[in-house]
Amino acid sequence: MKPETIETSGIRLRLVRDDDAADIENACDDAEIRRFLPSLPQPYTRDDALRFIRAATDEAWATGGANYAIADPATDRLLGTIGVHHVDTDRAQGEIGYWVAPWARGKGLATTATKVLAAHAFTDGFDRLELLTAWENPKSIRVALSAGFKPEGARRGAARNADGSRREVVVFARLVGDPDEPVARLLPDLPGGALSDGVLTLRPLGPGDADFYFDLLSTPDIIASHVPPVAPDREEVQLRCDRAETRWLLGERVDLVMVDAATGAPAGDIGLYYQEPMTGQAMIGYCVQPAFRGRGFARRASVLLGRWAFDNTGIARLIAGTNPSNAGSQRVLEAAGFLREGYQRSRLPGIAGGRIDDVLWAVLPGDLRETS
């Protein structure tokens, strides 16, 4: 690629310069940037910034890639960096990477810069561009989707942590003929960020919920109803909380915390698992802490989530399963409008290697009942 200034769509991509060193130094000491770029020196000094400007920039251009400053068109101040790296000339492909300084976030700069650089790279001979991001970095995943990069799965051990261990990354890619439009999501965000009927609120599960979630999933009768019926460890629970938003963005599942609207206390969880997009069928599952049972929270949550799914996604049918002996959960589903549709023998793994039967329930849009 040619080292030239690109100015369009209210953004400027220009070469990094020595006078950017102070801004690069300040940005690269930001905790979020260090978290997702663990190879950066810590602490990050002015000399590190100058080495990046001179050595890393030269290397990018010499290998057929690019390294740009994302700059404010009005002041020319550096707001971040973006480049094309890991170029494979035989395959006419490369990898886009970027960061945005703390003082410039929340303005869509990463998305705009990614779209601009991708268009420039395609006109310069690239046929395929990849974007790799951590599972725990939903902001970057939103950028990838907004810039037209389609998810292609996960790549195990593709990135290195600061301690030398390796981690899995999510892979996105755009081809030269792909439209310059956001990738359509199977599961959109909640309107206003939550669902509520005045008694119960459903909000997305997040990294800060790990303690509550671990306690919830360690409840004996909840463990027994899990698939498989094994208590998760604390690390696994934290990982699930950290990756919940990403799995939502990828259209795999929705994980929500039930919150008592009167007190703000977390009371349980409900999940939607989009297992069959081709047929428009998804499954729900829920559990409630013992202290909050008997208040209709599971029924309310099922109706709230069901209405959102039917009104905002391509889901046309929701299913749920219950242990034949779980009369409480069966009453919840009946009260929400679900109909019993079948009995599946030895469908699920049970305790100590056994198998248990599963009662199949389903609801269609017109079947859901009011939550009052």
Give me 351's structure tokens. Answer: 């305790």
pLDDT of 56 strictly over 80:
no
Q: What is the mean pLDDT of residues 305-314?
A: 98
Question: For 232-272, what is each residue's pLDDT tens digit?
Answer: 899 999 999 999 999 999 999 999 999 999 999 999 999 99
Question: For 108-134, what is each residue's pLDDT tens digit?
Answer: 999 999 999 999 999 999 999 999 999
Q: Give residue 372's pLDDT.
A: 66
Q: What percent of the chain has pLDDT over 70?
A: 99
pLDDT of 63 strictly over 80:
yes
What is the homologous superfamily of the domain 6-175 according to CATH? Gcn5-related N-acetyltransferase (GNAT) (3.40.630.30)
Band of the pLDDT at 85, cuts 50, 70, 90?
very high
Do the strands 195-196 and 150-160 form a parallel or antiparallel pair, or are they unpaired? unpaired
Distance CA 252, CA 93 (A): 28
Q: What percent of the chain has pLDDT over 90?
A: 86
Distance CA 132, CA 159 (A): 9
pLDDT of 294 strictly over 70:
yes
Question: For 336-358, what is each residue's pLDDT tens digit?
Answer: 999 999 999 999 988 888 899 99
**Residue 78 or 224, more confident:** 78
Average pLDDT along the chain? 94
Distance CA 1, CA 216 (A): 53
Amino acid occupying residue 254: V
Q: Residues 99, 101, 102, 104: is their CA dihedral positive or negative?
A: negative
Decide if 173 contacts 155 (C-beta within 8 A).
no
Band of the pLDDT at 213, cuts 50, 70, 90?
very high
Closest CA to 220 of 302, 296, 287, 301: 287
Please spell the DSSP secondary structure of 178-211, one letter per residue: S-SSPPPPSSPPPGGG-EE-SSEEEEE--GGGHH
The model's pTM: 0.94
Distance between first and last Cα of the chain: 62
pLDDT of 296 strictly over 80:
yes
Q: Give residue 57's pLDDT.
A: 78
Decide if 259 contacts 202 (C-beta within 8 A).
yes
pLDDT of 13 strictly over 70:
yes
Domain boundaries, the chain: 6-175, 191-367
Residues with Cβ within 8 Å of 263's Cβ and at least 6 positions away in sequence, in order, are: none
Q: Give residue 309's pLDDT.
A: 98
Q: What is the mean pLDDT of residues 223-238?
A: 88
Residues with Cβ within 8 Å of 36's Cβ and at least 6 positions away in sequence, in order, are: 99, 133, 134, 137, 140
Q: Give residue 227's pLDDT.
A: 82
Distance CA 94, CA 108 (A): 23
Distance CA 290, CA 309 (A): 27
Q: What is the mean pLDDT of residues 44-56?
A: 92
Residues with Cβ within 8 Å of 237's Cβ and at least 6 positions away in sequence, in order, are: 210, 213, 214, 217
Q: Does residue 320 sit in helix, strand or coil?
A: strand
Q: Give residue 285's pLDDT.
A: 96
Band of the pLDDT at 3, cuts 50, 70, 90?
confident
Closest CA to 131 of 114, 119, 116: 114
Decide if 9 contacts 112 (C-beta within 8 A).
yes
pLDDT of 293 strictly over 80:
yes
191-367 shares the fold of 6-175: yes
What beta strand segments (E) does the chain contain?
6-8, 11-14, 66-71, 78-88, 93-100, 128-134, 150-160, 166-175, 195-196, 200-204, 253-260, 266-276, 281-288, 317-322, 339-349, 355-363
Band of the pLDDT at 188, cuts 50, 70, 90?
very high
Decide if 148 contacts 174 (C-beta within 8 A).
yes
Which CATH topology does 191-367 take?
Aminopeptidase (3.40.630)
Band of the pLDDT at 15, cuts 50, 70, 90?
very high
Q: Residues 289, 293, 258, 188: is their CA dihedral positive or negative?
A: positive
Residues pairing with 359 in the sheet: 322, 343
Do the strands 93-100 and 78-88 form a parallel or antiparallel pair, or are they unpaired? antiparallel
Question: Side by side, which strands form the sheet with 355-363?
Answer: 195-196, 200-204, 253-260, 266-276, 281-288, 317-322, 355-363, 339-349
Decide if 132 contacts 95 (C-beta within 8 A).
yes
Question: For 265-281, what is each residue's pLDDT tens digit?
Answer: 999 999 999 999 999 99
Give me 300's structure tokens. Answer: 């309310």
Q: What is the mean pLDDT of residues 180-194?
A: 96
Decide if 332 contacts 302 (C-beta within 8 A).
yes
